[in-house]
Amino acid sequence: MNRDKITQLVTEALSENASLFLIGLDISDANKISVVIDGDSGVPLSECIRVSRHIENNLDREVEDYDLEVASFDIGESLVNQRQYKKNIGRIMKIVTAEQKYEGLLQAADEEQIKLMMTFREPKEVGKGKVTVEKEIILPVKEIKEAKVKIVI
């Protein structure tokens, strides 16, 4: 299976909807094509179907047999694309860097860094007990090893 041709077909299909972007493309030795897409406002099933049909309509099963799967990004997975940070502003994130783990509300994101608002308990300055404190943390994107959206029910 020609990876460049598949990449071109996926790019063409995604160009019809500017809010969609590619997360992953994998082609196994057994010609199983797996495409994972995400969108700035999520990915409706109809868009997965449209992308799948675009790819299928431009490949010939008589020439080469294949399996095709087009799926939307799984919210339980770690973010892999900068656009995913922007779409998750306002959600609670779990962030892992080489030095520390963070959990907080994602307030802003750009190409260089993200801003988290973290809430935690710390000892009072005077007397016994603890007080709830909010602290803004800015993390460079290049230092993030893993970033997941915390699913709150």
Question: What's the domain count of the chain?
Answer: 2
Which domain covers residue 119, as residue numbers?
82-149
User: Is there a contact between 53 and 9 (Cβ–Cβ < 8 Å)?
Assistant: no
pLDDT exceeds 80 at position 1 = no
> For residue 107, what pLDDT is reported?
97
Over residues 90-128, the pLDDT tens digits come to 999 999 999 999 999 999 999 999 999 999 888 888 888
Do 42 and 92 share a domain, yes or no? no
Q: Is residue 108 part of a domain?
A: yes
pLDDT over 80 (residue 142): yes
pTM: 0.82
Q: How far apart are CA 144 and CA 96, in angstroms?
A: 6
Distance in angstroms (rounded) separating the CA atoms of residues 129 and 127? 7
Nearest partner of 29 among 81, 63, 67, judged by Cα = 67
Residue showing tokens 């998750």: 88
* Residue 77 located in a structural domain: no
99 plus 57 within the same structural domain: no
Task: Give dist(CA 70, CA 150) in Å, integer.
Answer: 24
Q: 61: pLDDT confidence band, cut at 50, 70 and 90?
A: confident
Tell me whether residue 93 is in a domain: yes
Q: Which residue has the higher pLDDT, 75 or 21?
A: 21
Q: Are residues 98 and 39 in the same domain?
A: no
> The domain spanning residue 114 has which CATH number?
2.30.30.100
Residue where one domain finishes, among candidates 72, 97, 122:
72
